[in-house]
Amino acid sequence: MSNIDRRTLVRGSLAAMVAGAAFSRAALAQSSEPILLGVSGPLTGPNAQYGAQWKQGFDLALDEIHAAGGINGRKLAYQFEDSQSDPRQSVAIAQKFVSDPRIVLELGDFSSPASMAASPIYQRGGLVQFGFTNSHPDFTKGGDFMWSTSVSQADEQPLLASYAVRRLGLKKLAVLHLNTDWGRTSRDHFVKAAKDYGAEIAVTEGYIAEERDFRSTLVRVRDANPDGLILISYYSDGALIARQARQVGLKQTICAASSVYSPKFLELGGEAVEDVHLGTRYFPQDPRPEVKKFIAGFKAKYNGQEPDAFNAYSYDAMNMAASVVKIGGTDRRAIRDAFAKVKDVSSVIFGQATFDVESRRVKGAMNAELVVRKGQFALWDGKPT
């Protein structure tokens, strides 16, 4: 359920109506009703797991925001509408949010087709669409109400290429990527950067998200004779590829994009992901205070569960939303303008996040070079594997 229980909401509004005889409703809203954000994302359907992870990050951030006194004394809440990452439903949700005066800002959706189909409605309706996992290069081109804290692949992939080529000394690479807009854009940025650093790209293979069997793909990879495998994958498919690579007898170094950074990657991959290298935006032993606070808070709230990349994205997004609302208040247009004003918001992914007003994205994601050692993520010590 969304952070404010619907029944509470209904009861709250009933109470407000009753009280309306004595007070003006607006005045009451000023004092007691929470500031409401709309979230459009998958709670059911094939991407439901990501919606569930979003909620964990949102709820943790809200706990901290409220403990610190809320938004100028008012609470912040969100209304999560399930889109199943389906453009038909995300456009209806967009109209719902745009025509609901209580919603001051929208977060999501998850997939590019669902998010970008809704963009024209948010743009015309004058409600900010804050897409924090939308890496599609055209997302923020939808209009000046589209803002994103998704790490730009033009930023991230050269870091991964530098790790693989310069630090690990790999010279001939095989790139396996999810054949989605994200995977494809990432691959192109990676290949360009890796070539600039002097590596050769032996083969690139795109696979669809539902794929589970990679053995034949890996034979192709083996025949190309690379000295390293690059996985532009999410954690579940990344784990499958790592396992099957070992089964078909590939012993090359594996280096993966930050999206595999999840305790689930270790759980699903088992021994096969030992010695897998990955770049991430933060890591458990990170000395940065915002990271320590995030990890400790997350473990305390969710029974010792380790957070992953999507938890961090949504946690950061809610904190960013709070900072923006603090500046912009509850006026939608003022909130849009506040995105350009907000500066150095404490962020797990970026350290300090400030929007580039031109691209409406945030640059300068943090980078850490990790390796899986004894079933745990650890900072790479520079030793070859």
Partner 1 sequence: MSSWLDYTINGLIVGNVYALVAVGLALIFGVSRLINFAQGSIYLVGAYIGWVAVVQLHTPLPLTIIVVAATAAVVGLILERFGLRPLQNSVRIAPLLATIGISFVLDQLVMLTFSPNPRALPSQLPDIRFQLGGGTIGPLDLLIAGVGITSALLLFVFLRYSKLGWAVRAASQDRDAAMQMGVDVNRVNQAVFGIAAALGGVSGMLVGMYYNQIDTAMSLQATLKGVVAEVVGGAGNVPGAVIGSLLLGLVESYGVAVFGTSYRNLFAFLLLVVVLVLRPNGLFASARQAPPEPLTGTFIAPSRPVRIPRWALAVAAAAFAILPLFPVSFYVLQTLINAWLLGMLALSLTLVAGTIGQVSLGHAALLAIGAYTSALLSLALSVPVGLAVIGGGLMSAALGTLLISPSFRLRGHYVSIATLAIGEIVSLVILNWESVTRGPIGISGIPPLSLFGYDLISPTSIYWFSLVVMVALALLQGRLLTSHLGRSFRAIRDDDIAARAYGLSLNRYKSLAFIFGGFAAGVSGGIAAHLYSYINHETFNTQQSILALTVVILGGLGNVVGAIVGSVALVGLPEVFRIAAEYRILIYGVVLLLLVRFRPQGLLGTI
Query: Among residues 163 and 234, whose Cβ is nearest to partner 1?
Result: 234
Task: List the one residue from 29, 39, 91, 165 that touches partner 1 (CB under 8 A).
Answer: 91
Residue 237 burial by Cβ neighbours in a 10 Å radius (0-12, 13-18, 19+): buried
Query: Among residues 87 and 226, whose Cβ is nearest to partner 1?
Result: 87
138 binds partner 1 (CB under 8 A): yes
359 binds partner 1 (CB under 8 A): no
Interacting span for partner 1 (CB under 8 A) from 16-24, 179-187, 317-325, 326-334:
179-187
Task: List the one residue from 215, 225, 300, 385 that touches partner 1 (CB under 8 A).
Answer: 215
135 binds partner 1 (CB under 8 A): no
| Min separation Cβ 105 and partner 1, Å | 17
259: which DSSP letter? G
Task: List the one residue from 33, 109, 156, 181 that touches partner 1 (CB under 8 A).
Answer: 181
Q: 74 with 102: CB under 8 angstroms?
A: no
Q: 160 with 190: CB under 8 angstroms?
A: yes
Residues between 40 and 59 that touch partner 1 (CB under 8 A):
43-46, 48-49, 51-53
Length of the chain: 385
Tell me the residue type at 216: S
Query: Among residues 64 and 82, whose Cβ is nearest to partner 1?
Result: 82
Q: Give the list of residues 6+ apart from residue 111 with CB closer than 8 angstroms, or none.
A: 42, 47, 85
Q: Omega before 331 cis (within 30°)?
A: no
The Cα–Cα gap between 222 and 202 comes to 10
179 binds partner 1 (CB under 8 A): yes
HSE of 31, CA atoms in CB hemisphere, 13 A? 6
Residues in the interface with partner 1 (CB under 8 A) total: 77
Task: List the one residue from 40, 135, 148, 180 that touches partner 1 (CB under 8 A).
Answer: 180
Task: List the one residue from 14, 27, 208, 296 that touches partner 1 (CB under 8 A).
Answer: 208
Q: Which residue has the tokens 């995105």?
A: 339
Closest by CA to 262, choosing from 292, 234, 303, 297, is: 234
Task: List the one residue from 111, 162, 314, 330 that touches partner 1 (CB under 8 A).
Answer: 111
Interacting span for partner 1 (CB under 8 A) from 25-33, 58-66, 93-101, 285-293:
93-101
Which residues on neighbouring strands pair with residue 124, listed in sequence order? none
Rg (CA), the chain: 22
Residues between 218 and 257 that touch partner 1 (CB under 8 A):
219-220, 222-223, 236, 239-240, 243, 247-249
Residues between 187 and 206 that touch partner 1 (CB under 8 A):
205-206
Secondary element (H or E) of residue 316: helix 309-328
